[in-house]
Structures are given as structure tokens and as C-alpha cells.
Amino acid sequence: MIFSFDLLAEALIFGLLLGCFYAAVSIGLSVSFGLLDVPHVAHPAVMILGSYCTFIVAGWGLDPIVAGVVLMPAFFVLGVLIYRFYYESFEKRGTEAGVRGLAFFFGIAFIIEVGLILVFGVDQRSVQAAYIGSSWALGDYRIPYRMLVAFGVALVLTLALTIYLSQTFTGRAIKAVAQDEPALRLMGANPVRIKQWAFGIATAVSALAGAMVIIVGPVEPAMDRVYIGRTFCVVVLAGLGSMTGTLASGLILGISESIVLMFFGASWAPAVAFGLLLVVLGIRPQGLFGR
């Protein structure tokens, strides 16, 4: 292990950018799992599906970010369908849904992953854009533009969702469902429709997150596995359903991962998210900014 303050500064800058990116890939889960209590283990798989869809749409000549935005309505519908199916099969029947609900999403994740392998093969795929491949020289440090783009989109996404959930009528309704579903039912509102809408939004956001994943680096079908650790780590560390908490814990994960990457090598990096997740679950399962 070689230590120097230059390396540390570089690790911090890179970790900051990486952290915002991790917050962005986790924010959909923060809504679907954090607010709606759906055990959405397939979230990373849906996101990687978003990356591959971005790959196709960007192949028609669109910018990858635009491609991600274009995909959002389709993913919204997909999310509504997934939730509807989950609700009809498990939530509605009530008791003992826990084990089977989890198994259901685990199965969905595998189906998406193998589906991607069958269609695209196991090779890595990437997209082209002006900002991919070049970097910005800031003094002695080189910051890749693709990380800056992901950083920017992540900030916008987090801010937009925070404002949406706290300021708009439907956004508040979503938070109300999370806080007290029976009360909402007594008020005459239909919690299922609100949750369906929220799950749609969470899935639409995952499409854009998927676009960012393929901008930041090449993707392969089995990549969702390592993102299970990263996304759940961020969401649990944040405390379920806290949007600003998601940004903060994304930064914590990004910085820790980049420090480990810089000082111990790439082979240890995948364990950081899972290790942090295990520590948080063991010591403080309600997270840092819990509701």
C-alpha cells in the first residue's frame, strides 16, 4: 500500500463523482423498496435492461442520455405492470407473501439476466458520445467527462425527485402511502393506484439510471449482481425512503469504494459495498437518515 496525499485527493474527487452516480442508480430503489416496501431485488436487473435498451436506441444515432429519457415512458409502463402483477399475486393475498414475494423478484432478476445473455451474448457493450473517452484536466488531476455527465444527471434526478415527493400532490400521496396506508384507505384514496404510479416512476428513473451505467462504463448481462450490493447498500444506509439521505449515502459508498480502489487495488473494490451493507444491517438497520 502506497500512501500519498495526492492519491488521497484524487480518490476523494473520483469518489465524489462516483458517489453521485451510485445515488442515481439507487434512487429508483429508494422509492420502490424504501417508500413502498416492495422487496424489489430485481431493481438492478431492470436497470441493466435499461442500459441495453439505451444501447439499442443510441444505436439509431441518439445521444445516450436522450435515449435514456426517451425510454422512460416505456419503463414507466413496465413498472406499472410489474407492480400490478406483484400486487395481484402477493400483496392482495396478504399473509405468507414474504418468502414467495422475495423469490418472485429473485426469479425475475434471473429471467432478465438470462434473457439479455440470449439476445446480446455475454460480450461487453458500450455506447459512443462526444463526452465518452475524453477527460478534463484540472491541475494535476484528470476527470473523465463521462463521470461529470453522470454526476450532473444524478444531481438533477435526486433534486427533481425530492421536489416531486415533497411539493406535488401525487408526490405527497406517495409519501402518505409509505407512512400510513390504512389511514389513506380510510380517507377514501386508493393506495394501490398510488403505489402503482410510484412504482412506475421508480422504474422510469431506473431507465435513465441504466443509461448512465452504460455511459460510465461498458455493461454485461451479469452486472446486476454487483449492483445488488451497491443499490441496497445506499438505500439501507440512507434509511428507507429518504431522498437526500440517498445522495449522502451514495457519496459515502462512492468515496469508500474509490479509496479502497486506489490503495488496495481493484480486486477488493466489489466487497466494499457488500461489506458496508453488512455492517449497516448488523449495527444500524434503520440507516443514518431513517424515517
Binding site for another protein (CB under 8 A): 33, 39, 41, 89, 96, 98-104, 106-108, 110-111, 113-115, 117-118, 225-226, 228-229, 232, 236, 267-268, 270-271, 274-275, 277-278, 281-282, 285
> In angstroms, how far is the first alpha carbon of the chain from the final one?
40
Nearer to another protein, 42 or 213 (CB): 42
Nearer to another protein, 20 or 41 (CB): 41
Q: Provide the CA 110 distance to its chain's centre, in angstroms.
A: 18
Instruction: Let me know if 184 is exposed, middle or buried by CB neighbors in 10 A (0-12, 13-18, 19+).
Output: middle
Nearest to 221 by CA among 124, 127, 108: 124
What single-letter DSSP state applies at residue 40? -
Rounded to the nearest whole angstrom, what is the least distance from the CB of residue 265 to another protein in the complex?
Answer: 8
- Rounded Cα distance between 1 and 15, Å, is 18
Nearest-angstrom CA–CA distance, 135 and 192: 46
Quick one: 66 or 226, whose CB is closer to another protein?
Answer: 226
117 or 148, CB closer to another protein? 117
CB of 290 to another protein, least distance (A): 13
CB of 149 to another protein, least distance (A): 28
The half-sphere exposure of 208 on its side-chain side, counting CA atoms within 13 A, is 28
In terms of CB distance, is 55 or 104 closer to another protein? 104
Closest to another protein by CB, 99 vs 138, is 99
169-172 — which CB contacts under 8 Å span 24+ positions?
Answer: 170/194, 170/197
Which DSSP state fits 221?
Answer: G
Nearest approach, Cβ of 5 to another protein (angstroms)? Answer: 26
Please identify, using beta-carbon distances, which residue of 129 and 281 lies nearer to another protein: 281
Closest separation in Å from C-beta 206 to another protein:
18
Beta strand ranges found along the chain (DSSP E): 135-138, 141-144
Rounded to 10°, the helix 224-238/269-283 angle is: 40
Smallest distance from the beta carbon of 232 to another protein, in angstroms?
5
- What angle do the packed helices 5-29 and 145-167 form, to 10 degrees? 40
Instruction: Write down the least CB distance from residue 45 to another protein, Å.
Output: 10
d(Cα 55, Cα 67) in Å, to the nearest integer?
A: 8
